[in-house]
Structure 1
């Protein structure tokens, strides 16, 4: 009587599974690192975790992963650059703002595009004017020095409150806000900053940061914002929020 043949064994896992597992661990470490360095914004956390869905299991045949190790390292480099610029801007402005008693008029924060420096208009201009005050120039010099060393592009924005403005020189808040932004840009150019990395925009009263319901809140809206813009970070965050909007439109599926 012949011996029974053993049933044919199923093939083991393919060799690429080891590399795939390593990549998943890198992705998980990367997101944990981002969360440890950033504020706990629940909306962003949800999007970040959502991007991991499907990446920690076996891919369907014909599928490929979205992120490579180079993508991860590039993102980490962008985050580090933003934090370095924010640190330099803050260090340069803190001592001056304290000496000039301007702590309440200047804020430095990270934005979706890079770093934003917000300055209330009373520190820079007389009411209804786009000419920089003499006492504002030391502050502008501090910022110009940081801009000159920064690899980021600079977008200067002018903003006003909602009170109507009608003068021969500035028929509306649009003109005044734009003229103020241009005035700041021209000052930076005069200090040796390359014009190629500078741009100006005026938004009038249409991008308020506070309700226009009191003199105090209107004062917050009358401002100039100097934005250090990282094109790569702006594009990366745009893709992140586009993914969030698409997820919301499809019911989070």
Structure 2
């Protein structure tokens, strides 16, 4: 009997300290809980939301709620992104994302184009060349998307109600053309007017006037050896005002011509060299023809290099 009593006493002594194991487990879990709560308190909101959204998409990519939902609310918001747009990239979704492009090509006559000279560098050169006009307010330079716009007041280029370019127009363009002549960027010459109605024998409306002024500037650029294949004209009339036409200053600002330089350029192999003969050379030839008509018979001789020579000498009898 004594032996049995001692055995029961030993078993009882062994069970006395088992509560320490449960208490230690409880304290460990409680410590881990406070660590997690502290970490959640100091974490930045945006990275935390990104992390929770990512974890949610990993486990529940096609459902708004958890698969094994209990009686309470979820700790992490699953698929709770504010946008319904799917994100593409090196992630779980294997779908191809949207194709990225370098801007829409809006030039209707370009089938194959390449990026031309940098617009920022052209703007710096043009600003230096047109510094006085820019400072006085008669010219403006601005990069608008894929275009570098050179805006010139019509008062500098044309008389009122006319599309006949003045000497000032030729002088201003002679400053611009050396900078844009050797690049391949496309050009658009745009004409604008104010909203004052016009109805003359030459121009029935502001449409015709804006187009005629754009054509006049394009002709001057062509005479100064800008490649014609790079250029086109646009006429906006009174329907694209820069400011309100309620004041004299507003009317003046809306009467303008814009030379727009595109970021895209003509491919080098498609650039056609302009003729080497200039307008002054043509005038000299005309003078020689007029003077020669008063004397001997005029003869035109084709040279080996492709040029021509106008003479009144008889090549067949020059040795006599």
> So what's the TM-score if we normalise by structure 2?
0.49
- Does residue 126 of structure 2 align to residue 89 of structure 1? yes
**Larger RCO (CA within 8 A; separation ≥ 6):** 1
User: Secondary structure, in 3 states, of the residue corresponding to 1:58?
Assistant: coil
Partner of 1:155: 188
- Does residue 277 of structure 2 align to residue 229 of structure 1? no
Which of 158, 163, 169 lines up with 1:136 in the alignment?
Answer: 169
- Does residue 222 of structure 2 align to residue 189 of structure 1? yes
- Does residue 249 of structure 2 align to residue 216 of structure 1? yes
Partner of 1:204: 237
Q: Deviations over 1:75-103 (max 9, x none)?
A: xx9698121121222122115x27xxx72
User: Secondary structure, in 3 states, of the residue corresponding to 2:222?
Assistant: helix
Q: Deviations over 1:178-224 (max 9, x none)?
A: 00000000001001111111111111100101011111111110000
- Does residue 164 of structure 2 align to residue 127 of structure 1? no
Cα distance, 1:143 vs structure 2: 1.4
| Of 77-86 and 194-203, the range deviating more from structure 2 | 77-86
Alignment of 1:44-193 (within 5 A): 54-55=87-88, 58-64=91-97, 66-67=99-100, 81-95=118-132, 97=133, 103-193=136-226
User: Secondary structure, in 3 states, of the residue corresponding to 2:94?
Assistant: coil
Structure 1 stretches lacking a partner, 5+ long:
1-49, 72-76, 233-253
In 2, Cα distance between equivalents of 1:216 and 1:127? 15
Aligned length: 172
Higher share in helix:
1
Cα distance, 1:135 vs structure 2: 2.2
Runs of 4+ in 1 over 2 A off after TM superposition: 52-57, 62-68, 77-80
The verdict on how the C-alpha distance between 1:80 and 1:150 changes in structure 2, with shifts beyond 3 A counting, is closer
Structure 2 stretches lacking a partner, 5+ long:
1-82, 103-113, 266-320
User: Secondary structure, in 3 states, of the residue corresponding to 1:230?
Assistant: strand
RMSD: 2.9
